[in-house]
Copies of this chain bind each other. A is one copy, B any other.
Amino acid sequence: MKVNIGAVNALDPLPTTLVGAKVGGKPNYLAIAWVGIVGRNRISIALNKEHYTNAGIRENKCFSVNIPSESLVEKTDYCGIYSGSEVDKSKVFVSYYGALNDAPMIQECIINMECRLIDTIDTPYHDVFVGEVVATYCDEYVLVDGKIDLSRVKPILYSTSDKGYWTLGERLTSAWDIGKRWGK
Contact = CB atoms under 8 A, between A and B. Distances in A.
Given A39-B128, A44-B38, A121-B119, A67 B10 contact: yes
A50 interface: no
A177 to B, nearest CB: 7
A165 B175 contact: yes
Interface in A128-184: 128, 130, 132-140, 143, 146-150, 153, 155-184
Given A11-B15, A11-B17, A136-B5, A179 B148 contact: no
Q: How many copies of this kind of chain does the complex include? A: 2
A80 interface: yes
A102 to B, nearest CB: 18
Nearest to A44: B36
A124 B42 CA distance: 11
Contact of A161 (B8, B12, B147): B147
B15 A14 contact: yes
Contact of A136 (B4, B168, B170, B173): B4
Contacts of A132: 7
A176 B158 CA distance: 11
A140 B3 contact: yes
A67 B10 CA distance: 9
9 contacts: A3-B137, A5-B146, A5-B148, A8-B113, A35-B37, A37-B160, A165-B173, A165-B174, A167-B169
